[in-house]
Structure 1
Amino acid sequence: MTERVPVRCPACRRVHAYAAPSYPCPCGHPVAPRLDRGAEPVVVVRPVWEEQWITVRCPACDRAGEWPHPELGCPCGALLRVRPARADGHTATADVPGHATAADVPGHAAAARAAAETAPVTAARAAAPRPAFRSVAIRTARDAVTATVLYLRRLGHRDIRRADQRPAAGVCLAARGLLALVDPRMLPACARDVECLWLTAMTESADCAYFSLTGYTDDAHVRAGALGVALFVLALSGVPRPVNTPADALAAGADGPAPG
């Protein structure tokens, strides 16, 4: 496993123990960037596509590839971009999995205690062992749809298909009792986007979930809370992050083992 480092949120000062996700190199070796333990993370206000990728070199075959920038969602709502360590001015070096453990990180125990005190729900979920969710790195709109399909399957939806409805933006997916909109645009979804999804789901007597690459406006959050629309933000790693209460309830089904 990759090294874990303490990451303090600049917005709420909450401390997280974070490990960058690893991805397989074409040679088959798992690759993850080494993180800068001393650098404070950056709060991402408006994601820019070109800034969401870093170059990481495989320690096994020395091949350089483009990988999603390590990011962490804080329960306070901030999206934190964790700085990778730099071997030179341009390229992030990679960890060899298993090289470092949580015990190797100075102050990790204190960081873990602080995280447990300030985020009991997150700590409780982390304490429960479960298989890692395997997704795809998002580089294209099609990747975003694939990542959402994989996540919905983990929630137990096996009958996923492209919905008959054609939204103004993105792709609508249908499963039994659920309508999901995948929005790959590089701008936050607005209240009208949320309302349109909800109205479409109402005609199908289904629940609905919104998966956005960039996030949501404040008005969209308020409207989604009133209508019960689950909001997720798709990280470039392909892992959806719930950002409101309906999404937390829906995501609870992913906390246990994946359905067989």
Structure 2
Amino acid sequence: MSAFNLTPSGPSTFILNGIPGLEAAHIWISIPFSIIYIISLLGNFMILFLVSKEQTLHKPMFLLLCMLVLTHIGGSTCVVPKALCIFWFSFKDITVDGCLTQMFFFNMIAAMHSAVLVIMAFDRYVAICDPLRYTTILTNARIAKLGLVGLTRAVFVVLPEPLLLRRLPFCANHVIPHTYCEHMAVVKSCGETTVSRMYSLVIALVVIGLDLTLIGLSYGLIIRTVLRLSSKKSHKKALNTCTAHICVMLTTKEKGRNYKAELLYHTYSDQAGA
């Protein structure tokens, strides 16, 4: 593998260290990474293929599922191919522009994923709380418009992050102890980053907080409606339609909580150090 090693990073590049302390096991670690990535791609593309070919699946619920699948494909593709290059060939160098581009797409896709979950919660709210008007309120065209709004929001809230970082000098350690360009690791390589750090913190709190509030409101109204139903069979049927989305929502909530905690930790530790 030494034949593939690149020259030391210059001032316009970062070095992605992979998994620190486990460099000798990178080849073995790459095996589950690559298997899971391939299985994920095959499964997600199969869903897209089936929904596109089967006319009976051309409904808002499955259109939302396709949006969620696209965020899964995009998020993993932003990270895994570069990680495998690190594991297999020790291609650790990445340009500053490449690093910021990866960071932008990864965070933008995460914001889009959150927006899709909000739309899915609204979809379930209408389906359970106002079922007679479901087909008139949530048409395929309206779902597509909501998805476009979510994508536009994701682009505009995330785009300032790399733009702010691009204007700063990268004067500190250029080694990033990750397999991808994680935001706070890149920030630590910059000069004065107070504005960038505070912007990222506020955006994470506002976007994630707003989305979780809307999802919680939707499910609060759903639970209230379900409890008013007289039939236990109706209770079970209504809740079964939401089970899968609740599981996805809880997973996303945990990721969002970890991201906010990480931003808070780095922000205040850096300020204390100053």
State the TM-score, normalizing by the size of structure 1: 0.25
Structure with larger Rg: 2
Bigger relative contact order, structure 1 or 2, given CA contacts below 8 A and separation 6+? 2
Q: Which structure shows the bigger proportion of residues in strand conformation? A: 1
Taking structure 2 as the reference length, what is the TM-score of the superposition? 0.24
